A and B are shown apart, each in its own frame.
Chain A
Amino acid sequence: MSEGMPANSEAVVTLDGVTVAYGRSVALQDVTSTFPTGAVGLLGPNGAGKSTLIKTLLGFVVPSAGRMRVLGRDVAHDALAIRGRIGYVPENDAQIPAMNAVSFVAYCGELCGLPRADATQRAHEVLFYAGLGEARYRNVETYSTGMKQRLKVAQALVHDPDLLFLDEPTNGMDPKGREEMLELVHDLGHAKGVNLILSSHLLPDVEFACDHVIVIDRGRIAASGPIASLKQPRGQLFELRVKAGPGGLDAFLARLQAAGFECHLSADDTNADLMRVFVPGEGRARQLFELAAAERVQVRHLRPSVSTLEDVFVRAVGEA
């Protein structure tokens, strides 16, 4: 284990009252959280503050308040030492022009302090690992979007970081490429022992690659914890299909919400009458039947459903 690397039980990142503002616009507001070791998902809708948080941890943006520690070191005072032990995969295209992939990745390794021979050897290794072995002598500017994403991962891995920041690594990738990228991220976090923070607005990506999630919304932490634990129901989730009564579907939904139930209608037009209803507490189906009867709604289909990360996300963002 490298110097400065926290023990497994420690957090890789701790945030204490961090506030970041761009002029009058507050991107992060009094954020206090800890990122444990392992694969952690940073989940939130677009504009929630995920990228700002990563850029603040990298030292690109200076917070107006608060303290941050990465791998046990203070970001404000030890940024260089931290950057030597982390890898960063930026969200948008980023490469150094007029280089082939081997030269580019080796150059990144040298910038991180690796001797030239070691950097070149590592460049070949990580390019193979990232699935670019056959294309490693091509000019990086001729790469497809998916290849550029892999290349960014390779340059972030070349110096063997203790912590990897991945900012929307599946952006712009086709389904197959996305799946391969997620497998790569999963492998890094679970088989290769690299701590990573995966920032994404795509719930399946985080659910697949991470064990722990931090949900961020409008610059605040909305929820955090192990994904498995967050998915444990604090009530019962039901999948429900109904035929509306005289008051229509809206009246039934209003009655459910008034009773403290969370309802989410299907986004699919062909299943417009299908909804997912979260019944807090004991979560008895009987309560649903009683409310349906009161509203003269026919229940055509009712079955208990498994809570997904999407439910966790929707609840967290809804509460924030």
Chain B
Amino acid sequence: MDIIHDDYQVHYDAATATVVCQGSFRLRGTEEYAPILQVLTAAADAQPATLTLDLRTLQFLNSSGINTLAKFVLHARQYQATQVVMKGSHLFPWQEKSLKNFQRLLPGLHLEIE
């Protein structure tokens, strides 16, 4: 399940239960983010032991995108047997500012910023 766009890409690898987001997410509102949220929630619905969301090459995320990731985290929260791992990078300063907020929605969320 992949989404390929000029400005961003989403790749879901079911075998490793990893969703990789790349590029810049500047989409306009809930409707435009729906396909991305769909990939994320489908990955959570598979209920893997560990679900990794790799954002290390996501350069930009607007507030609608933050909203989308929050929905995903709250959706994943119902699967208590799944450990959610979020990977970020210091290369993009927004990640260390904003990603830690998701731990407040899901205290067990494992955040790795490298």
A and B physically associate:
no
Binding site for A on B (CB under 8 A): none
